[in-house]
Structure 1
């Protein structure tokens, strides 16, 4: 089971690590998109979100307080879904569909992050193949 959880952690985290690289290397362009969505201080927000995604993704992949990484992702994903992908505001059918898909992806990934938070916190040090145990303890 330890190896399966390790593979799952790495695969889950890859999305966020790659996304973080995009946020950090393309912060001006991504900041312009965030500005168009009404995000205040869009470039600093883009850089900050990139750092959050990087820390959370690496923490999950390497098993360093993976539960905290999952919590950070959930805290990022749910507001991002609402603020950045408000499909209900779109009048163009294609744009509405694309935003709805992205909204639902963010919500689903946030739900997965919450489930993993509970799993890592519950299993604790028995999980194996991690560098640290969980920060939180759910019983």
Structure 2
């Protein structure tokens, strides 16, 4: 089961590693989108969230204080859901629907991050570099 848990962690963090890379390599486009959502300072937010996601994903996949990484992903996803995908503010039906999907996706992934946190805390994550930062149990 340790190998299965590792495969699951790898698959889970692929999205975050790709997104982090996108934040750090396509900063201009991401900054424009962030500004359109009313987030200031947009460039710093894009770069900061890219680093945050990348670090969190690496912590989870490596099992190096994976519980901390999972909590970092949880925080990122909840903030992203409410700041970047506030579908209730959209007037256009198609845009509203697309943003609602992204909002719910972020919340679903936040729920998964909490489950990853629990698995690390209970010692059921297998093949980790360190024990959980916040202890077991």
> Common fold, TM-score beyond 0.5?
yes
Structure 1: 5+ residue runs without aligned partners? none
By how many angstroms is 1:29 displaced?
Answer: 1.1
Using the size of structure 1 for normalisation, the TM-score is: 0.94
Pair 1:41-2:41 in alignment: yes
3-state SS of the aligned residue for 2:34? helix
Deviation at 1:130, TM superposition (A): 1.3
> Is the 1:20–1:50 Cα contact (8 Å) retained in structure 2?
yes
Which of 129, 134, 137 is the matching residue for 2:135? 137
8 Å Cα contact 1:118/1:138 also seen in 2: no
- Determine the C-alpha separation between the residues in 1 that align with 2:36 and 2:115: 32
Matched with 1:30 is: 30
Name the counterpart of 2:57.
Answer: 57
* Runs of 4+ off more than 2 Å: none
Once the 2 structures are TM-superposed, how far is the Cα of residue 79 of structure 1 from its aligned partner? 1.2
Question: Does structure 1 retain, via aligned residues, the 8 Å contact 2:6–2:125?
Answer: no
Q: Give the C-alpha shift of residue 104 in structure 1.
A: 0.2
Distance 2:112 2:126 in 1: 20
1:104-133 C-alpha deviation (Å, 9 max, x unpaired): 00000011101111110111xx64311111
Distance 1:6 1:32, change over 3 A: same
Aligned residues: 137
Q: Mapping of 1:1-139 within 5 angstroms?
A: 1-123=1-123, 127-139=125-137
Gaps (5+ residues) in structure 2? none
TM superposition shift of 1:137: 2.2
Q: 1:91 to 1:55 in 2, by over 3 A?
A: same
- TM-score normalised according to structure 2 size: 0.96
